[in-house]
Structure 1
Amino acid sequence: MTFIELSNQIFNESVLDYHKTDNVDAPINNPYEFKTIEYYLYLKNWIDTVQWHLEDIIRNPEIDPVEALALKRRIDKSNQDRTDLVELIDSYFLDQYKDVVIKSSAIINTESPAWAIDRLSILHLKIYHMQQEVERKDSSADHLTQCQTKLNILLEQKVDLSTAIDQLISDISDGVKKMKVYKQMKMYNDPALNPVLYAKGK
């Protein structure tokens, strides 16, 4: 099984597991051994899935403002966790291919493998929820047709993205592309870098 086949299998598993309860507060029951790449892939998608539903909840026009603020803080924390996990997965790739002899003609890809895998994780959520729309019984025929068209595009995109990531990993392992990772350096969560936060300490 290739890395991308493994990723797609685990992402699909995580999405289905979450929707057994469909509850943003449901505890994660990660079935994989702690600190393995499988464990991190499952955790990555679970974080994405919970955040997907938090984003739905916060858009309720009748939401209590106090609750909305708490949700916004929770989403910010989730975004930071997601970023940290992507960087951890990239560390896995850096370790996997640290001994590869990089060709003099090697080029840098526009994004790292883990950030591409991040997009694949989100794509699984888009596919799942678009499939739900296609199966709705209370929608018009026009709505169902539009959603089926969108679903077909998402499924095609999943094949294309999976192929592209597979090719990227292969190119890195062959030294055709060199892997270079930059930390995201998010500033808004850092009390030393966000001027609103560090002004409070003066």
Structure 2
Amino acid sequence: MISETANEIFQKAIQDYHIFDQIDRTIENPYHKDTLEHLLYMKCWIDTAQWHMEDVVRDPKIAPEEGLYWKRRIDQQNQVRTDTVEFIDSYYLDLFKNVVPNTDAKVNSESPAWAIDRLSILALKIYHMEQETLRTDISKAHFAKCKEKLDILLEQRKDLSQSIDDLLTDIKSGKKYMKVYKQMKMYNDPTMNPVLYGNSKS
């Protein structure tokens, strides 16, 4: 099942990142570049770096100029994240290109890759919530609150993993079919964001 593989790769990517815990460290992807595993590792590394960018920008003492710098970095990272999700969907579109859907086949509310995107973010939530339970400077109340949340996140990962596996099985068997819509983000496009194309005329 793909969810088992994805969860293992996500965990590895998160652990590898936290060896050095540096946002701009070069990604050393251990998987061949033409594989799904490579995309999954890349996806989670991108998410992990963005997670820590979000931490930095929330520092109440951050200077406005630095905050703006990180906000723009987050916007750029989010675009890379979206592009990577679409690469994963392209992999599945090619994988299932010869499957003939059943006459009563239905489209899912989200593509496989966007469900996998949620699984990657969930892996990060689990990792960081577990880190909270391992702190030695917290109260019993804080530990209990974090442990309760961790248990819920673990259950959520189990349910989401099963849903992803079921979706891919249904697509492979023709019970469902893939229909992918590009995100068509407008705010990074200088021809569509009125602030950007307005400035270009001045």
Q: TM-score, normalised by structure 1?
A: 0.98
Aligned to 1:166: 165
Partner of 2:7: 8
- Following the alignment from structure 1 to structure 2, what is the Cα–Cα distance between the partners of residues 57 and 147? 22
Alignment partner of 1:22 is 2:21: yes
AA partner of residue 77 (structure 1): Q
Task: Count how many residue pairs are aligned between Structure 1 and Structure 2.
Answer: 201
C-alpha displacement at 1:5, in angstroms?
Answer: 1.3
* CA deviation after TM superposition for structure 1 residue 4, in Å: 1.5
Q: Secondary structure at the match of 2:167?
A: helix
Query: Which residue does 2:105 correspond to in 1?
Result: 106
Structural mapping, 1:138-153, within 5 Å: 138-153=137-152
SS in structure 2 of the partner of residue 180 of structure 1 = coil
Q: How does 1:1-202 map to 2 (within 5 A)?
A: 2-202=1-201
Q: Which runs of 4+ in 1 moved over 4 A?
A: none
Amino acid at match of 2:60: P
| Separation of aligned partners in 2, 1:14 and 1:201 | 40
TM superposition score normalised by structure 2: 0.98
What is the deviation of 1:36? 1.5
1:2-46 Cα distance to aligned partner (Å, 9 max, x none)? 221111111010000001011112221111111311111100000
Distance 1:87 1:52 in 2: 20
Structure 2 CA distance, aligned partners of 1:128 and 1:163? 20
Distance of 2:34 and 2:19 partners within structure 1: 25
Question: Structure 1: any 5+ residue segments left out of the alignment?
Answer: none
Deviation at 1:200, TM superposition (A): 1.1
- Structure 1 residue identity aligned to 2:172: S
1:86-140 Cα shifts (integer Å, max 9, x gaps): 0110000000001001001001101000000000000000000000001111010
Q: Give 5+ residue unaligned stretches, structure 2.
A: none
